[in-house]
Amino acid sequence: MEHARKVRPYVAPLTPEEDAAITAAALSDPDAQPLTDEELAKFRPVWAFPELVADLQKHGYLGRPPLPPEERKQRVTLYLDPDVLASLKQGGKGWQTRANAALRKALGL
């Protein structure tokens, strides 16, 4: 069963005047003052709170934690012969993962 794609309603971008008015109102509100550098330094990523992460993942609001930079895959542009691409896509979704696995095997990694 396929999951329904979440559709977000269109929201028109703010005009510069609207943005300036909202910023001015926020700065004049004593309960909405900008955070200081000391306050910002106390912030922790959501991943530091496992119980919150589990709840957010359960409800579909959060994916998996980000990988460290050395483990992230890199986007490349690669030209393939039509028959090679057709063969990879023949297996359906996940063809890029299969291509990565085939390259790893061919390179002995």
Structure confidence by residue, pLDDT tens digits, 71-92:
888 888 999 999 999 999 998 8
The pLDDT value given to residue 64:
74
Residues 6+ apart with CB under 8 A from 14: 22
Residue 1 confidence (pLDDT) above 60: no
From the number of C-beta atoms within 10 Å of its C-beta (0-12, 13-18, 19+), residue 53 rates as middle
Residue 6 confidence (pLDDT) above 80: no
How much of the chain, in percent, has pLDDT values that exceed 90?
38
Handedness of CA 76, 77, 80, 86 (dihedral sign): positive
